[in-house]
């Protein structure tokens, strides 16, 4: 049976054939999944908009949770096949991925060495603080070129001392793991929505390629009819071409006969604000709204910007009241501590005009 026929069959059979393909990929159990999905009626009412559900991938259970724990199940399975004792990874100073990697490696009994791009702050906060709490060895690199040099130097030193290092950035599953993970998340969403008696019109998620590639593949594989609306937090690269490239590499890895064209990728670059890593006004408003209306804590760097995108599209009249949106909360809340002054005003902003 080809993939199109399988897609038709999958719609009626809880996507078993897609799950079988994913089950062939080596994996270590790390995350608490499936994550919950719940409706956000106060948010819908405040916006006068469609029904909104939130998929809680911030609740994946290790080191305060987030989307990366899902891909680490596949990335670290590949890592473990080399029998390392140390994982070395180069990421951003306030990386959610770094925090979750340290937590996952701790569970697997691996030492983690982080080489973070940025200057050491006088008083570590947010993700960096948790990196220390979890016991990571932390180094700082002033730029990407120096970070790469340090990764290799630290790995060489580790080897010279009799260690077995693995540089996670060089892991061949690095991008594909995220896409596979988000095919699975999408299947969870579709099954949970079906149980709730609703079908998603659109799925919103913060992504600059990897996670979105998975949702787009799942959309094609299931024929479920929703549109994937990515919102990027960075303008450092062309997200649609990157997303399509990752989707196609993932399709090859899973042995799927599908090709995704970058023209099919819907990713809104209009909510980055000043630049990556800096909160925007719209993101701050979105964080307040989710918190004050639904008790859900987003972050002002990724999920707040994605929520701002969804809210912006609702306010622009894109949806009818009987449409159904799913917002994927990909984690990242430790950043609210890095940006603590943003939350201290006592205004009622964000309660909306219900
Ligand atoms: C909280 C959060 N959301 C979304 C993303 C984007 O993920 P991706 O571009 O891998 O889909 C990240 C990546 O670091 C993140 O930390």
Mean pLDDT of the region 105-109: 98
Tens of pLDDT along 270-286? 999 999 999 999 999 99
Q: Which ligand 1 atom is at minimum distance from the Cα of 212?
A: 11
What residue's CA is closest to ligand 1, atom 4?
A: 206
For the segment 159-188, the average pLDDT, to the nearest whole number, is: 97
pLDDT for 30-87, tens place per residue? 999 999 999 999 999 999 989 999 999 999 999 999 999 999 999 999 999 999 999 9
d(CA 23, ligand 1 centre) in Å:
24
Among 182, 208, 268, 305, residue to substitute to test ligand 1 (most atoms within 8 Å of Cβ): 208
State whether the beta carbon of 302 lies less than 6 angstroms from ligand 1: yes
Does 329 score more than 60 pLDDT? yes
Q: Which residues of 319-332 are buried (b: 16+ CB within 10 A; e: fewer)?
A: beeeebbbbbbbbb
What is the per-residue pLDDT for 124? 96
Question: Is the C-beta atom of 60 inside 6 A of ligand 1?
Answer: no
Residue 22 C-alpha to ligand 1 middle, in angstroms? Answer: 21
pLDDT above 90 as % of the chain: 92
Q: Cβ of 190: how many Cβ atoms within 10 Å?
A: 23
Report the sign of the C-alpha dihedral through residues 271, 273, 279, 282, in that order.
Answer: negative
Q: Is the CB of 96 under 6 A from ligand 1?
A: yes
Structural domains of the chain, with CATH? 3-65+174-343 (3.40.50.1100), 68-170 (3.40.50.1100)
Nearest protein Cα to ligand 1, atom 16: 96
Give 29: exposed, middle or buried? Use CB within 10 Å, 0-12, 13-18, 19+. exposed
In contact, 219 and 251? CB cutoff 8 Å: no
> Cα–Cα distances in Å, from 114 out to 144, 148, 154, 155?
13, 12, 10, 11
pLDDT > 70: percent of the chain = 94
pLDDT by residue (tens digit) across 229-245? 999 999 999 999 999 99
Q: How confident is the model at residue 4 (pLDDT cuts 50, 70, 90)?
A: low
CA-301 nearest atom, ligand 1: 1
Q: Residue 1: is its pLDDT beyond 70?
A: no
> For ligand 1, is residue 211 a contact (CB within 6 Å)?
yes
Centroid of ligand 1 to alpha carbon of 183 (angstroms): 15
**Is 330 touching ligand 1 by the criterion CB < 6 Å?**
yes
Separation CA 183–CA 331 (nearest Å): 18
- Average pLDDT on 90-119 reads 98
Q: What is the pLDDT of residue 354?
A: 36
331 lines ligand 1 (CB under 6 A): yes
């Amino acid at each position: 049976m080809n993939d199109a026929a399988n897609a038709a069959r999958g719609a009626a059979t809880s996507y078993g054939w897609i799950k079988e393909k994913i089950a062939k990929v080596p994996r270590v159990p790390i995350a608490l999944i499936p994550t919950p999905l719940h409706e956000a009626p106060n948010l819908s009412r405040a916006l006068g908009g469609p029904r909104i559900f939130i998929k809680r991938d911030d609740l994946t259970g290790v080191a305060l949770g987030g989307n990366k724990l899902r891909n680490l199940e596949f990335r670290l399975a590949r890592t473990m096949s080399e029998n390392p004792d140390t994982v070395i990874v180069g990421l951003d100073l306030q990386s959610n991925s770094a925090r979750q990697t340290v937590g996952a490696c701790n569970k697997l009994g691996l030492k983690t060495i982080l080489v973070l791009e940025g200057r050491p702050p006088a008083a570590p906060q947010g993700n960096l603080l948790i990196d220390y709490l979890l016991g990571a060895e932390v180094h700082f690199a002033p730029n990407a070129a120096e970070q790469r040099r340090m990764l290799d130097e630290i790995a060489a030193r580790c080897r010279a001392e009799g260690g077995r290092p693995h540089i996670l950035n060089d892991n061949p599953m690095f991008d594909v793991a995220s896409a596979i993970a988000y095919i699975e998340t999408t299947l969870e969403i579709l099954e949970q929505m079906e149980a709730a008696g609703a079908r998603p019109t659109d799925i919103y998620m913060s992504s600059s390629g990897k996670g979105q590639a998975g949702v787009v593949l799942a959309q094609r594989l299931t024929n479920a009819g929703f549109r994937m609306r990515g919102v990027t937090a960075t303008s450092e690269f062309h997200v649609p071409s990157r997303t399509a490239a990752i989707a196609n590499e993932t399709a090859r890895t899973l042995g799927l006969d599908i090709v995704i064209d970058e023209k099919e990728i819907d990713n809104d670059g209009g909510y980055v604000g000043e630049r990556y890593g800096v909160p925007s006004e719209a993101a701050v408003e979105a964080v307040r709204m989710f918190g004050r209306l639904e008790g859900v804590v987003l972050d002002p760097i990724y999920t707040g910007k994605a929520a701002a995108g969804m809210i912006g599209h609702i306010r622009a009249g894109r949806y009818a009241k009987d449409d159904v949106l799913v917002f994927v909360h990909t984690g990242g809340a430790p950043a609210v501590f890095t940006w603590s002054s943003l939350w201290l005003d006592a205004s009622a902003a964000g309660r909306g005009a219900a």
